[in-house]
Structure 1
Amino acid sequence: MMNKPILGSLGRNIQKMRMAKGLSLSQLAQAAGLAKSNLSRIEQGEGNPTIETIWRLAIYLDTPFGDLIASLESTMGENGIQVQLIDQGLDNPRIDVYWMSCAPNTVRQSEPHIAGTTETVTLISGKLLAGESNDLRHLEIGKNHTFAADVPHCYQTDDSWATLIIVITYAKQDDTIQGVQS
């Protein structure tokens, strides 16, 4: 459960990005599969969104997940998963780095991220299966596994805890200014 200041900061970030994209509350709520009243509560810092909900909002706002939670100084957790943003690169391509801990017997299914996104996972401790949902790999401690994150993907533990670092690399953005004609 996130505390009030964190929820308020998250809500302001979501609202700011929604408005910057010119989306109404109804448009974003419908796209992300949320009730308009729930999105309104989240933006006001009143709701308690799941990590999945925040990911869906990031996808429909076409923005890195880290941008929505960048000002949150704490760990977010639910359903056996704890996630903390460690660092964010603002260059091109954009890169977010997360620390994640998974409880024993946890399966975390992730929806596709923004087109062109990859994840590189490094297992720090424990045992983990990770990768594209149709191609899960057993990770070895200290070894990297990179996979497409713009398709359904999954993290799965056995009967032990797993700790990992996730590097999310978004697609390189075209340097030309969109919509400007010379």
Structure 2
Amino acid sequence: MGIETKERVGRELESGAQVISGQLGKTIQRLRKAYNLSLSELAEQSGVAKSIISQIERNETNPTLATIWRLSQALDISIERVLSSGEEEAFIEKTSRADTPILVSEDGKLRLAIIGWIKTVEWLQWYEVQAEPGGELDSEGHQRGSIESLSVSAGEFEVEVGDVIQRAKAGETLRYRCDRRHIVRCVGDQPGSALMVCILKAAVME
């Protein structure tokens, strides 16, 4: 493909590409066809299996951010453009308390309600934390470079990472590296609640 053609296509994609929830596959397919690439050619250039690309284009799978990044590189378009939309369709999705998965710490005193979106679990996770006094969550490290944020809404929590320990009360937030063993404790004599958000390394594309 000549430079002028690639620049022209890039301008067309820049002005016309729209990616909305549930239409990622159609967007990838449109970009691929704009460059006159077959599934096999895009697979070769991106390093993503042909079968996976086919499933993505048919919206039969939710690709990881790393996969989308590889495809965006092969299609010469930024990942922000692939994932963003100028005219997103409105939608509201509701999940009941009964349908919300719950994780319980080994001591049974701390519960994590998984309120994050399943489509972002590879790179972004968030939880509602409810803990009894003394409740403790002892976690192994996540992907290298990952960061966790704990925003306390009631009670008091303590986070231990390596030799560092810090406490936070209601209205305060602790942010810490979670790519190593880390412990979250509910301290004091009152129950605690908090919002925990984990940003995995896959969200930061180098």
State TM-score, norm by structure 1: 0.50
The alpha-carbon distance between structure 1 residues 173 and 136, as it changes in their structure 2 partners (threshold 3 A), is same
| Residue identity (%) | 13
For the residue of structure 1 that corresponds to 2:169, the secondary structure is coil
Report what 2:198 is aligned to: 168
Offset at residue 139 of structure 1 (A): 0.5
Structure 2 residue 107 is the aligned partner of structure 1 residue 77:
no
Amino acid at match of 1:168: C
Count of aligned residue pairs for this structure pair: 105
**Gapped regions of structure 2 (runs ≥ 5):** 1-98
**Gapped regions of structure 1 (runs ≥ 5):** 1-71, 177-182
Distance 1:93 1:73 in 2: 18
Deviations 1:44-71 (A, max 9, x none): xxxxxxxxxxxxxxxxxxxxxxxxxxxx
Distance 2:118 2:173 in 1: 19
Offset at residue 73 of structure 1 (A): 2.6
Structure 2 residue 144 is the aligned partner of structure 1 residue 115:
yes
Contact 1:82 1:102 in 2 (8 A): yes
Q: Which has the higher helix share?
A: 2
Amino acid at match of 1:106: G
Report what 1:100 is aligned to: 129
Deviations 1:103-146 (A, max 9, x none): 11123221111212110000010011114142121103122211
How well do the aligned residues superpose, as a CA RMSD in angstroms? Answer: 2.7
For the residue of structure 1 that corresponds to 2:202, the secondary structure is coil
Between structure 1 and structure 2, the one with the greater Rg is 2
Offset at residue 156 of structure 1 (A): 1.5
Distance 1:149 1:163 in 2: 19
Contact 1:93 1:169 in 2 (8 A): no
Contact 1:128 1:162 in 2 (8 A): yes
Contact 1:127 1:139 in 2 (8 A): yes
State TM-score, norm by structure 2: 0.45
Distance 1:100 1:164 in 2: 5
Deviations 1:16-52 (A, max 9, x none): xxxxxxxxxxxxxxxxxxxxxxxxxxxxxxxxxxxxx
Contact 2:110 2:136 in 1 (8 A): no
For the residue of structure 1 that corresponds to 2:156, the secondary structure is coil
